Structure formats: C-alpha cells, structure tokens
A and B are shown apart, each in its own frame.
Chain A
Amino acid sequence: MKKADGIIIAVVLTVCAALFLFFRYGEQKHTNQMKAEIYASGRLLQTVSLTDERTREFVIENGKMILSIEQDGVAVSYADCPSRVCVRTGKITLPGQMITCLPNRVIVKLIGYSGFDQEVDVIAR
C-alpha cells in the first residue's frame, strides 16, 4: 500500500466518523427543534413535533390526507384529491419548506422550534 492510500483511507474514515457523529447527534438536535404546522383553509389546525415520529391521518372538511412524520421531515403519503401534487412534493426537511394541497386547502409547513425549554403534550387556548 502506498503512502497516498493510507492518507485517503484516513480521510474517508474521518469523513465517515464525522458523518456518523453528525447524524447521531448533530441532526437529531436539529430535528428535535423542528415542528410541522398543519393549516386548513388558512387556519392552524395543529403543530406536530417531529420527535413524535408517527404517521397521522387527517380528515379535513373536504378530504382525507395521511401525513407521514419522520424525525427528519414530513411527507404526505396519501391524499384523496385528484391532483396529488402534495404527495408528489415528497418529504420536506428544512424549516420554512411547505407542502401545499390546493384541492383540500391544506398547507403543511416546517418551522424551527420557537417555544420554551419544556415540551408540552397539548396547549389550552
């Protein structure tokens, strides 16, 4: 093995280790702070923390949608609208990104976490 090979192997291993640490800790912290806001007809229906990691079904006035909520993002996995633009949008993963469903008048938006330290199960308004 040449000296150059050793360097390349070291670089690749370092990159892998960095990637591992990033996914294990860095990204988790990042996703912990993200929430998905679900709007229907312009009204905020619900905010879901991405750490809750669950698939949710939403029956909204004139339609049905299934959101798959993962640690790193949100996607619409099913919608009963004809166009399915929202399904084709795929997974959104960054704060500010949106999925829009015009027929059902639904918007799913990712936001950076803006609350306080203590997470709550529900908010009385």
Chain B
Amino acid sequence: MRRLLYASLLIMGFALAGCAARPADERVISKMLDGPLDTVSTITLYGWSGDEKPIEDIFTMLYGIDARMSAISEESEISAISGRTGTPAKVSKDTFELIEYAKKISAETEGAFDITIRPVVSLWGIGTENTRVPGSEEIDAALLSVGYEGIILDKAMSAVTLSKKGMRLDLGGIAKGFACDKAVEIFKNADVRHGVIDMGGNVYVYGLKPDGSLWKVGVKNPLAGENGYFCVVEAADRAIVTSGVYERFFESDGKFYHHIMNPRTGRPVDNGLISVTVISESSTQADALSTACFVLGAERGRRHLAMLPNVEGIFVADDLSVRITPGLRDVFNIVDERFKMAD
C-alpha cells in the first residue's frame, strides 16, 4: 500500500514536471545548399503551408547562375568572354543584363566598383595558396588590363567584348546579389508571404515576420567570430549586404592586407574602414554598392547613397566608430558597446 502511494506520488510529480514543456508553434521550412556561387545558401519559409517547390526552384536557379557566371569554371559564359579579348562573345540575357548593370554602377561610382578587377585580384591571390605582396611594377602592369570602360556591350546581339589585352571579368562581387533578387522573384510568384534568403551572408528579408513585426538582422561583428553581430537592423522587403576586411586577408611583415581592392591603385583599400553594409530593395544593387562604398570611403560613400532612393548604409571604421545614413536612425541599434556612433 505504502509503495503504491509513493509510486503514484512520483508519477504525479513527473507528470507535473512534464507539463512544463511548450508545444511547437507554426510551420517553418528551412533548406540549405552548399556549392553554387561558391557559398552556402539557406532559404527559410515561415508560416508556409505549401510544398517545398519554391525552395527547389531557387536551388535550380542557383545552379543555373553558377554555371553561367562562375569566374572559375572554364565552361561558364564569363570564362568565354574573358578568354577572347577583342572578339565578341554571345551570352545569355541574364548574364548580359548583369554585366550591363555592373558597368552602370561602375560609371556611377567612378570606378570604385569594377568587375574587371580580376587581374589585380589574381596577382595578390588573397584567400588562395598563392597569397603574396606583389611589386609595384607587377601591379602597374596588371592595372593596364583593368577598367570597366573596356567592356563593350552589344545589346542587339547580346554580346560582350573585352577591348583591353589581358582583361578578365569577375562577377563575384555582384552575382550573389543577382541570385538573391531572382530568389525574391520566385517567392513572389509562389505567393510566399514571410521568408529569409541567406546566400553566404547576403541576406534578404521577405515580407514581414509572421507576427507582423519587422525582421531583426544582425550585421557581422568584425571583432567576433562567425556568429557575432555588432548591431541589429530592423527591416522588411530589404536586401542587406556587408563587405568587410575580415572575409579574406593575410599579414606580411607586420602589415595587414585584405581582399577589397581599390581598382585605381591595385592595392587593398586603405581608408580606415573595416566594414560597409548596404540596405536596399535590390540585392544586386546592395551587393555592388557595399564594395563600391567601401572603396569610396565613409564620406563619399554616404554622399553617394544619399542620392539613391531607399538605399541606406552602415560604415564602420577601424576605431570602431559607426556612421549610418539618416534613414536608419529609427531601425538601427548597436548591441556591442565597444562600437560607438560617430555623429
């Protein structure tokens, strides 16, 4: 009898403890793909009752863009253009439009963003086994093959010609953004209402969160590891793209060299910035402008963004001072107190 009493007491107790568990909430589908565009893409649908087709379609689109626009694959359209200086290469509509857009951004930013920087990037080899500090003469020689003005576009023929000897294209600074915008189109066509697209850190927050609030997007903390963020931006239907010196760099003779090259000097940008984030309705634009603004510097970069509608920016300097564009004031919050607003 006594044993029974104790046993039932114990069972009651555990049942009570078990009641503390919460039920699962709404349905979320998240899928991740490692490979295309040399990155990891994660697509997440919130409160989604449909099937996984939107995500599958995005993955198929990613493989397609990777095949056409990779600077590494010898089969790609970009390699076909790069390999035949002076001769027109016919390319797909997507590739043509992206090159045309990239050239436009280059012109608007006075060459701060330039998809012909490849010869300089290869020379430094930052992030590869062949990293080194090249000599001035080598850099000058490589710079002769750099310059977006040398890209000749024939819209009627959908053909691209590189006019300078040794010129090469690299859409690495814009292709992920382009793919992200294509993913947004797929979301729209599938009537997705709430979602997050993350292509290797190029983020797009789609719609509002299922509870009707804005998404909270952390921006990578240059002082912390993979998952640290120094600020939070609240946004909806926006692309958020960051360029930072921490992505790829090396040190030689006590000097720090990072991968963001100034197309004018052929050397890593050296203007005191360590990270630039651009927030825009277009991920292609945000991708290109995050690099361009990094090269332009905080003041010129902010002036450039101020001319564009619905485009905002966050500039972080090496003294951890932070500058933002006016449109972010109410949706921007620093969470690591080592960072301070500059004005």
Interface residue ranges, A against B (CB under 8 Å): 5, 8-9, 12-13, 15-17, 19-20, 22-24, 28, 35, 37-38, 40-41, 43-47, 52-54, 56-61, 71, 114-125
Contacts and interface: CB of A to CB of B under 8 A. Distances in A.
A120 B9 contact: no
A27 to B, nearest CB: 8
Contacts of B219: 123-124
B25 A53 contact: yes
B216 A121 contact: yes
Contacts of A56: 28, 30-31
B226 interface: yes
Contacts of B50: none
A12 B31 CA distance: 46
Contacts of B14: 16, 19
Which 3 residue pairs spanning A and B have beta carbons closest together?
A16-B13, A125-B201, A24-B20
Contact of A122 (B200, B215, B228): B215
Interface stretch (B33-41, B150-158, B250-258, B316-324): B33-41
B223 interface: no
17 contacts: A9-B5, A12-B6, A12-B13, A17-B13, A19-B16, A46-B32, A56-B31, A57-B31, A61-B34, A114-B228, A115-B229, A116-B229, A123-B219, A123-B229, A124-B219, A125-B242, A125-B247
B241 interface: yes
A121 B205 contact: yes
Contacts of B216: 118-121
A114 B59 CA distance: 32
Interface in B1-48: 2, 5-6, 9-10, 12-14, 16-18, 20-22, 24-25, 28-35, 40, 42
Most buried by A among B13, B200, B219, B335: B13
Nearest to A52: B28
Interface string B102-119: 000000000000000000
